[in-house]
Amino acid sequence: MITAKTALRRQNKAQRIERVGKLARGKFVSPDKVPEILRRIIEPGDILCLEGDNQKQADFLANQLATLENKDLRDIHLVMSCITLPAHIELFKKGMIKQVDFCYAGPQGGAVADLVKAKKFPVGAIHTYNELYARYYIDLTPRVALIAAAQADRKGNLFLAANTEETPAIVEPTAFSDGIVFAQVNEIVDKLPRIDIPADQVDLVVQAPYPMHLQALFTRDPAAITDVQVLMAMVALRGIYEKYEVQSLNHGVGFNTAAIELLLPTYGERLGLKGKICKYWMVNPLPTLIPAIESGWVESVFAVGGEVGMERYTAARSDVFFTGRDGSFHSNRAMGQLAGHYAIDMFIGASLQIDINGNSSTVSKNRITGFGGAPNMGCQPTGRRHPTKAWLKAGAEANPGPGSPPGRKLVVQMVETFQAGRVPTFVEELDATDPSIRKALHGVTPVMIYGDDVTHVVTEEGIANLAACRSIAERQAAIRAVAGYTPVGLKRKKRETEDLRARGIVQLPEDVGVRPSEASRSLLATQDIKGLVRWSNGLYDPPSQFVDW
């Protein structure tokens, strides 16, 4: 029955907007009024969403929020993808936050670990991106969302430009539940190139005095790729891409996969793999993918976010990238993660630590980072039903039982056995199992990719096919076999390794037809950023920190 009570939430929103009063002209507010407006529209106990992932940040609104004090703002349930700005940490230090639910803490990982130790970080859970977006529609629906857009028009329609990212995933649940959507924009214009968020889902708009923060996260300088990474890339190409005919895929942000991208037009071409592999990508517009695109390898690329400097190139290659009618690049984090979950043959990425069961983590006692999106893609989607060659082949190898899906996504961890500073990548037990971390996370160990989901581990020593292992003991032996000369690797037994190699579960570079003497940087399609600019016909504009000419 519809009563006055059912309209309470809508009334409450109206009251909040009313409190803003003359501080706004229609939807538009001036930057200096923002702290006071935030004080008036946010109530104690609110679920407050701050937009910000690992690339794009509503940093002006976050900075204004952090100027408030505990008396202005308290008992806030903060929900946000990425805790990346000093302003975010400030909210905790000031004691405004009663609970936080998030995904990733990248550059603030050290500060988060300190807050945990000081018991000032009341965390609900660390999520993966789509998991958190999903909860925005269930039990974490924001009352107020502070978001970022490139442009607004006079009605409050928003243009999100290349970095659409997670804005729609925040705005929809907020706007359709009588929440308040407050957008910072870089500029206000008469006519937008395209409308990404309609004005009737936007309550307040401020033109920020500085443009929103964008992080160039996926730019890898080919000059920093090593011979060892070239070797691993060759091994992965032959032992996995070629073997399974991987057509659709996601690459992580590391140099290992950048090496693969740069080998496609050279080594890959020589192997006759063009048109057979790497046609459909769910990945951000990686500058290191330019040579492969220009050589005709790539059919399409859908992205969770943009990449600084790739705007003109992606507009020119709208036959490959998803773009608006105006030609400008389009991304969508939630849909991209969904695509990476269900619709790709392979996820391949790196990690800081892998244990003997194949679990990986980027969390240590002194740095609590979290997950981001990798686990959405680096997992077995048991809701998948459509077959592809790679999926069926990997599935058959895993010898599925009568109650299992016939196929498997390839989930590949590609790591060097040691990190910088001779720190072993392979460990008996993850740092993430530390009791204080587990306690802060209500008993959950923050595992990035679970060993059960991993099909292959690639190191400079070779490939371990975990999916083909028939027991936990065998999986551990396979991991030790490729763990090199780390303490985990030194514990391997010669006979076990030989048995696994004879069965093709462990493969050395020469077992997959790779000649180590060829593993050299000279095999890359280009050796530096300047070369990427050349490949793009001058359309790639690298961020200044990557320009040395």
Q: Which residues bind another protein (CB under 8 A)?
A: 226-228, 231, 416-418, 420, 422, 459-461, 484-485, 490, 494, 508-509, 515-517, 519
**Tokens 């961020």 correspond to what residue?**
543
Are the C-beta atoms of 96 and 73 separated by less than 8 Å? yes
Are the C-beta atoms of 254 and 277 separated by less than 8 Å? no
CB-nearer residue toward another protein: 115 or 412: 412
CB of 184 to another protein, least distance (A): 44
Q: Give the Cα separation of 263 and 273 in Å (integer).
A: 11
CB of 239 to another protein, least distance (A): 16
Are the C-beta atoms of 113 and 367 separated by less than 8 Å? yes
For helices 109-117 and 86-93, what crossing angle results, to 10°?
A: 10
Alpha helices in 358-457 (DSSP H): 374-377, 389-397, 435-440
CB-nearer residue toward another protein: 234 or 532: 234
CB-nearer residue toward another protein: 326 or 518: 518
Residues 6+ positions from 392 with CB-CB distance below 8 Å: 406, 407
CB of 223 to another protein, least distance (A): 14
CB of 367 to another protein, least distance (A): 22
CB-nearer residue toward another protein: 71 or 494: 494
First-to-last CA distance in the chain?
70
CB-nearer residue toward another protein: 279 or 501: 501
CB-nearer residue toward another protein: 192 or 350: 350
Q: Give the Cα separation of 237 and 256 in Å (integer).
A: 11
CB of 323 to another protein, least distance (A): 40
CB of 461 to another protein, least distance (A): 7
CB-nearer residue toward another protein: 75 or 499: 499
**Tokens 């059919």 correspond to what residue?**
299
Burial 161-170 (b: 16+ CB within 10 A, else e): bbbbbbbbbb
Are the C-beta atoms of 222 and 263 separated by less than 8 Å? no
CB of 228 to another protein, least distance (A): 5
CA-nearest of 302, 292, 27 to 149 is 27
| Phi and psi angles of residue 152, each rounded to the nearest 5 degrees, phi first | -125, 150
CB-nearer residue toward another protein: 270 or 439: 270
Alpha helices in 86-241 (DSSP H): 86-93, 109-117, 129-136, 167-175, 227-236
CB of 507 to another protein, least distance (A): 12
